[in-house]
Amino acid sequence: MKKKSIALILAGMMAALTACGSSAAQPAQPAAQPQQEAAAEEKKEEAAPAAESDASGKTFKIGVCQLIQHDALDAATQGFVDALKEEFGDNVEIDVQNAQGESTTCATIVTGFVSNGYDLIMANATPALQAAASATSDIPILGTSVTDYGTALGMSDFSGTTGINISGTSDLAPIDQQEDMILELVPDVKKVAILYCSSEPNSKFQADMIKGYLEEDGIAFEEFTFSDSNDIQSVATQAVSGADAVYIPTDNTAASNMTLISNITAPAGIPVICGEQNMCIKGGLATLSISYYDLGTATGKQAIEILKNGADVSAMEIEYASATTKMYNAANAETIGANVPEDYVAIEGSESE
């Protein structure tokens, strides 16, 4: 009896303990659910930015075709690259290739860009732009260091946008103000020699413009053109004979050979008004300067709009340099005995000894 009573008591105690354990565990389950839901929500919130990061982290491949190596075009390319690297960092791959002044090499370079499926092509100078335009009508193309897009692309009705897969920036400085500089620097000028490469259509475009302004002011002029760098010495020698000043537009072949031109014009005491600053540094007297680095940066920002924000390149306005400065080469001014007005700024590094 006692054993049975003890057994019954123990069984009752075990049942009570089991019941207490169950009732203590029950409230814990509902308490855990809000924590699990909160953790799940945190995971969702963490996942959303990760998805955005993946979308914005796409790697873009861009090809840059630069016609020739000289300071102005180099600066434009650098501005373009810097703008894209600042925006995309390691998520942009930029393939910069130089055609060494050969239009046929431009064609080879951009054909490679197209076959490799690049996302965008930047064409630095007119022949590079023309080659890119011939190579693709699908891939967005941005030009820079191009004077007039209508001339470059053969568009007689060009009005600021191309309507095709091309836009970019122009290095055209006001030609009328450049003609004013000739009159300021050479007040008794009677004849101006206009020197440029005949194979560069944008050089002819500028030459034709300045001829009109010279005619309005009753100043005589004569064109002297060379087909490539091999002709420059003989043509430049002819140009300084009988001229009071030489005008050279933004011409890539001339820019690459300014030292040679200066070796002819400086001993003759002939002032050279150049289309851009880097030409002036290497042997000109004065220029209405724009920043090619800034021009390249502006082109890079156009690329960002296309790649990141889906801008339609065919509807993008061609952009122009926002500021110009009258600048001069102090060393050249001293060499040829030129008097330069006070509102001209000496180019850094050109100070006379």
Q: Are residues 300 and 166 in the same domain?
A: yes
**Do residues 336 and 220 both lie within one domain?**
yes
Average pLDDT, the chain: 86
For residues 97 and 233, state if they share a domain. Answer: no
Residues 204 and 237 in one domain: yes
User: For position 215, what pLDDT does the model report?
Assistant: 97
Pair 331, 222 in one domain: yes
pLDDT tens for 75-107 read 999 999 999 999 999 999 999 999 999 999 999
My answer on whether 251 and 300 are in the same domain is no
| Residues 253 and 316 occupy one common structural domain | no
Domain containing residue 213: CATH number: 3.40.50.2300
Same domain, 164 and 284: no
**Sheet strand arrangement including 141-146:** 92-98, 60-66, 120-124, 141-146, 166-170, 319-320
pLDDT in tens, 221-251: 999 999 989 999 999 999 999 999 999 999 9
* pLDDT confidence of residue 16: 39
pTM: 0.76
Q: Is residue 298 part of a domain?
A: yes
In a domain, 53, yes or no: no
Domain count, the chain: 2
By residue range, what is the domain housing residue 307? 59-171+291-320
Do residue 341 and residue 235 come from a single domain? yes
Whether 12 is in a domain gets the answer no
136 in the same domain as 275: no
Same domain, 272 and 183: yes
The answer to whether 276 and 290 have CB atoms below 8 angstroms apart is yes
Residues 70 and 161 reside in one and the same domain: yes
